[in-house]
Structure 1
Amino acid sequence: MIIFPVVIIISIFMYLYYKIMIANEPEPLKKEIKNAKARIALGVFISFFGINQYLFYETQLSLFITIIFLFFGIMQGYAGYKRLSHYKKEYQKRVEVGRS
């Protein structure tokens, strides 16, 4: 199962990338968009980390921990997705007003 560690590593690097890019962004809406993308990457990381731990140990305790990790990972990903869609719409409105 090489796919889970690869997804875990890519998602943690994407999380760190977006968090670092927030500091370099002067516009507040773009900061919020990048923060939402970072939350999605964090949700993917937490979810896949939990699944990977269950597949590695396969015990009842790791199943409960995996369920908790999946819950928090899905919540992070969903909240990030909702923020991303909201702030992208706001950014598009700002761009349209700027063109007019």
Structure 2
Amino acid sequence: MEVRVSAPGNEMGRQDVEGIEQDLAKIDRRLNKHKVVTADVRITRTQGVPGFHVVLELAYGRNHLQAKAEAPDVRRAVREAREDVLRQINDRSRRGHSSFVKHL
């Protein structure tokens, strides 16, 4: 899986990027049958309160998914967005809504 991280105005070291790649490895394992999987991660500071806003865009095959999350910690926000994308992948694989949505 190719991971691109952009964080305009934020200092992101190599360790930070490697940590984000580790957090997204779960998606890579889930989509191992797809040859080309790309993940774009955009990180910005939240307005007014301390924390980070993360947008995760995932493209594989003919699918394009997007998830957004906010958290006080960058890695936590990335993991929340990852879980949202994994739910979307599972919904698509079952050709319907997840069991959580059916009961609403």
TM-score w.r.t. structure 1 length? 0.29
Greater share of strand: 2
Greater share of helix: 1
TM-score w.r.t. structure 2 length? 0.28
Q: Higher Cα Rg: structure 1 or 2?
A: 1
Higher RCO (Cα < 8 Å, 6 or more apart)? 1
